[in-house]
Amino acid sequence: MPDNLLLAREGQTALITVNRPQVLNALNSQTLIELGQAIADVRSDASVRAVVITGAGGKAFVAGADIGELAALSPADARKHALLGQRVFAAIEQLGKPSIAAINGFALGGGCELAMACTLRVAADTARLGQPEINLGILPGFAGTQRLTRLVGKGAALDLLLTGRHVTADEAHRLGLVTRVVPAADLLATVSALATELAAKAPIAMQYVLEAVQRGGEIPFDDAAVLEASLFGLACSTADMHEGTRAFLDKRKPAFKGE
């Protein structure tokens, strides 16, 4: 069992909770390694169709990297640490299943980077987000400069990265950094319902949508359109496609099996 994570199942949803509330769920190397293993386990479990990631306690999603650990790293070890975080967050982004960050408090530095690696980000109205690394004399190391720029645009990203300021959940929503904002008391129920909704969709089509958006966003438009057409063709070869079209014609809800 991991020391710094809590793992739970609710139907077809896996819930991963970063469980270091005494340090506002700061990400140290051990936590990153445990998170990477949890994501690998979720990937290989076909019965899991959606993943929720959140933080323990009422104050923080993840307040950032573990500064005590970070301050003691040599330059070479700091680079290794950054690459570890990048690999784990890339595994979340490339999971092939939807992941939802339930942002229940501070999501700063590495916490904001973790949230950005998720498919969707639902924030409590009390949450605060930001990339304050500049105030420590460093910059984001877990690909935060890249994901933030892709989510909110170059100008807004530079504003946040260069000032290190925190933004409210409402401002983060206006910027496109989070996808939804809900009252804090409703956060987990809202995210649970959303995860259940996503888990009921066709999992192969879901995987292809994620691939089309993620890979397509990094290549020229014409090449991305060809990728989409190829994935569309593959989706049309699945039993889920036949179930979905039959259910539509029969005016009933489809029962997708991921086949």
Span 136-163, pLDDT tens digits:
999 999 999 999 999 999 999 999 999 9
Taking the whole predicted model, whether its pTM rises above 0.85 is answered as: yes
143 and 54 in one domain?
yes
154 and 90 in one domain?
yes
What stretches of the chain adopt beta strand conformation (E)? 5-10, 13-18, 50-55, 60-62, 99-103, 106-108, 120-124, 128-130, 166-168, 180-182
> Which of 69, 113, 218, 243 does the annotation list as catalytic?
113
- CATH number of the domain where residue 230 is located: 1.10.12
Percent of the chain with pLDDT over 70: 100
Contact between 120 and 100 (Cβ < 8 Å): yes
How far lies 11's CA from each of 2, 20, 131, in Å? 21, 25, 34
Span 81-110, pLDDT tens digits:
999 999 999 999 999 999 999 999 999 999
228 and 105 in one domain?
no
100 and 42 in one domain?
yes
pLDDT at 68 (0 to 100): 87
Whether 257 maps to a domain, the answer reads: no
Contact between 55 and 16 (Cβ < 8 Å): no
| Residues spanned by the domain of 219 | 203-250
> Which of 34, 69, 133, 197 does the annotation list as catalytic?
133
62 and 41 in one domain?
yes
Final residue in a domain of this structure, among 182, 199, 216: 199
Span 112-140, pLDDT tens digits:
999 999 999 999 999 999 999 999 999 99
218 and 92 in one domain?
no
Rounded Cα distance between 48 and 43, Å, is: 8
Span 184-205, pLDDT tens digits:
999 999 999 999 999 999 999 9
148 and 60 in one domain?
yes
Concerning whether 228 is annotated as a catalytic residue, the answer is no
Concerning whether 113 is annotated as a catalytic residue, the answer is yes
Q: Three-state SS for 9?
A: strand
136 and 64 in one domain?
yes
Q: How many domains does the chain have?
A: 2
121 and 227 in one domain?
no
